[in-house]
Chain A
Amino acid sequence: GAVVSQHPSWVICKSGTSVKIECRSLDFQATTMFWYRQFPKQSLMLMATSNEGSKATYEQGVEKDKFLINHASLTLSTLTVTSAHPEDSSFYICSARQLSSRDTQYFGPGTRLTVL
């Protein structure tokens, strides 16, 4: 149980284009989903927290107009990287949390974004 999927697993795009990444909780309802970014040999850095049906809360230094997050249902959150640039190339990981278990996050497999 508690499986989280991400799609796509990897994506390559041209600079200036937008990319959408999906995060789904497959067998539970996720009241909260988190989006992280991880650069090579670095730690996971939280970008934003999204609660179903409300606006996402972004961490300091993360541009909300560049990283659009939508959490329209209890099983799906999307992250759209708008006008992507090479410096946005990274490993993006989502996690999901149930209301009944606030101290446990279930992580997706990650999406490798490469911007040319």
Chain B
Amino acid sequence: SQKIEQNSEALNIQEGKTATLTCNYTNYSPAYLQWYRQDPGRGPVFLLLIRENEKEKRKERLKVTFDTTLKQSLFHITASQPADSATYLCALPYNTDKLIFGTGTRLQVFP
């Protein structure tokens, strides 16, 4: 069955640095991959979608890469700010656009 892995340990970085989060998947060839932000006690908020034929996608300070050979996506936040502190989830589609989510990586940006 499909499996998604995100680093369960929290990532602590200093303000202004670039945060890099990893999403690995197995037993799977998704047509696209999505990244979400989730704050405590809130639902996920969609950030970016990258398709299998795209290597990289950018949105403001966010950058996502998608390596279908490595079965890996990297999510970068440049010039990170304390307001970027949250849990970031990757999600992959299956069975006609249902989504399977990773467990998320908690990012803490300190001043």
Contact = CB atoms under 8 A, between A and B. Distances in A.
Interface of A: 4, 6, 34, 41-46, 49, 91, 93, 95, 97, 102-110, 112
B99 A105 contact: yes
16 contacts: A34-B99, A42-B103, A43-B103, A46-B98, A46-B99, A46-B100, A49-B98, A91-B41, A102-B97, A103-B93, A104-B49, A105-B46, A107-B36, A108-B43, A110-B42, A110-B43
A109 B43 contact: yes
B89 A104 contact: no
A97 B97 contact: yes
Question: Which secondary structure dominates chain B's binding surface?
Answer: strand
Nearest to B42: A109
Interface of B: 32, 34, 36, 41-46, 49, 89, 93, 97-104
A106 B97 contact: no
A34 B99 CA distance: 10
